[in-house]
Every structure is written in structure tokens, then in C-alpha cells.
Amino acid sequence: MPPPADLLQGTLDMLILRAIANDPQHGWAIAQRIQQVSNNVLQVGQGSLYPALHRLEYKGWIKAQWGASENNRKARFYALTAAGRKHLAAEVENWERLAGAVNLVLADI
């Protein structure tokens, strides 16, 4: 199996926002979701995840609330705000445009 891929700068925020778009999640569940959906290619460490969560909360794109995790431990659950939904939509659109442009260049080589 190839090693995990490094995330492009700025993509972690978009991945976190997408991971909580449908349901609030606690930090560990967010990291697990990203890893699972990416077939273990993307692995988000705590040293990257929690600063990103704090940054997203500061920007008003997510909100945090205390709750109980699946194993009854106290955890902060993160949910998307309306501003976060709007930002995620813009980021996905930008990502698709960028990926499409890269694919065009790769197809021409």
C-alpha cells in the first residue's frame, strides 16, 4: 500500500467541513471519517486536526457543543453553521475547477 498522501495546503479545512456537513462529529470521528472515505490515503493527525477545528470555529464556519461520544466519554461535537455551508460550497466549486484544470494539463502531456 502506498504511503498516505500529504494534504495540499488549504484542503484540510474543506475536508473537515465536508466530514461534518451531514452530522455533527467529534474530532476523532472526523479524522476517522476522512481516512475511511479516502481509503486510508488521507490521514489527519491530532496536531493538524485540532488547530484546524479551532480556526474554523473562530471563523464562524463551525460551532462546537459538548456531548457524549459512542463510548460515553465527554467530547466536543462540531457542526456546520450556515456560513460554513456557504463557504464549503464555494470551496468545493473552486476545488473542482482547480482539479479540472490540472487534469486538462495532465491529459495533454
Residue 5, domain member (yes or no): no
Contact indicator for 87, 34 with CB cutoff of 8 Å: no
Q: Residue 2: is its pLDDT beyond 90?
A: no
- Residue-wise pLDDT tens digits, 21-55: 999 999 999 999 999 999 999 999 999 999 999 99
Cα–Cα dist 97/108, whole Å: 17
Which runs of E-coded beta strand occur in the chain? Answer: 25-26, 62-68, 74-80
Cα–Cα dist 96/106, whole Å: 15
Residue 3, domain member (yes or no): no
CATH code: domain of residue 22: 1.10.10.10
Domain of 81? 11-108
Cα 40–Cα 95–Cα 42 angle in degrees, nearest 5? 10
Q: What is the mean pLDDT of the chain?
A: 92
- Tally the domains of the chain: 1
Give the pLDDT of residue 88.
Answer: 97
Residue 88, domain member (yes or no): yes
Residue 4, domain member (yes or no): no
Residue 70, domain member (yes or no): yes
Give the pLDDT of residue 70.
Answer: 85
- DSSP secondary structure letter of residue 50: H
- DSSP secondary structure letter of residue 40: T
